[in-house]
Structure 1
Amino acid sequence: MSDLIVDLALLTKSSKQLKAIQKEFADLGEWKVEITSAVGAPELKGAMTEFIDNWSDNRKRLLNSLESVGKMVEGTREAFQSLEDELTKSGEKSKKE
């Protein structure tokens, strides 16, 4: 039988990093007015508006994905931590007997 090794510290670090990335994308905010007001040519302004709208939609999807993956990583870490705690208690109990 082989042993399963789970790096709980890596899962914790990954969860924190995903939250930090999610915060960075969330803090980008809406900058459509600032950009379009700096552009003079109507054709360029239209292209920039379209780009910004697409970016906003994709950013929202990315934020949702980051949140989902973060929850999965955190759930995995919690499940393995709980299992390790149970196995530790079980091992301590059998040593006493």
Structure 2
Amino acid sequence: MANDSDLKVNVDLLVDSESRLKSLKKEFTNLGNHTDDMRPYWGSSEITDAMDKFVDNWDDYRAKMLESIDTVGKLVKSTIDSFEGLDADLAKGLREGGKDMKK
């Protein structure tokens, strides 16, 4: 009967995904803004202006990526919690059902 299941969830994959998302979030969060450190190497004001625009755009996109990573991470965590809870409830039901059958 267990082989007739329509839904199969690889919780290990979900846990690994959550861990990787946390690592990505940490990496993107810890990326320092080194604009001021690099400014002396850029040369002309035109290049400096272009690089400032690039850095500003990168910061905006990085913030959006962090939001997306956080959202997906929360969804994965919620999915893990839901399936683990469901699995525990089903196991409890089977144990209690087995006790009723022995009576």
Write out the 4+ residue segments of structure 1 that deviate beyond 6 Å after TM superposition. Answer: none
2:87 matched residue in structure 1: 84
* Distance (whole Å) between structure 2 residues aligned to residue 37 and residue 75 of structure 1: 47
Residues 4-83 of structure 1: pairs in structure 2 closer than 5 A: 4-83=7-86
Structure 1 unmatched runs, 5+: none
- Give, in whole Å, the separation in 1 of the partners of 2:27 and 2:39: 22
| RMSD value, Cα | 1.1
Shift of the alpha carbon at 1:53? Answer: 0.4
Q: TM-score, normalised by structure 1?
A: 0.94
Asked if structure 2 preserves the Cα contact closer than 8 Å seen for 1:12 and 1:77, the reply is yes
Alignment partner of 1:3: what SS? coil
What residue number does 1:3 align with?
6
Contact 1:36 1:49 in 2 (8 A): no
**1:95 alignment partner in structure 2:** 98
Q: Tell me, which stretches of 5 or more residues in structure 2 are unaligned?
A: none
Percent identity, aligned pairs only, is 37
TM-superposed CA distance for 1:11, in Å, is 0.6
User: What's the CA shift string for 1:3-49, capped at 9, x where partnerless?
Assistant: 31111111111000000011111111211211223211111111101
TM-score normalised to structure 2 length: 0.89
AA of the residue aligned to 1:30: N
Q: Counterpart of 2:13 in structure 1: which amino acid? A: L
Larger Rg belongs to: 2
* Cα shift readout 1:42-90 (whole Å, capped 9, x = no counterpart): 1111110100000001101111110010000000010010000000000
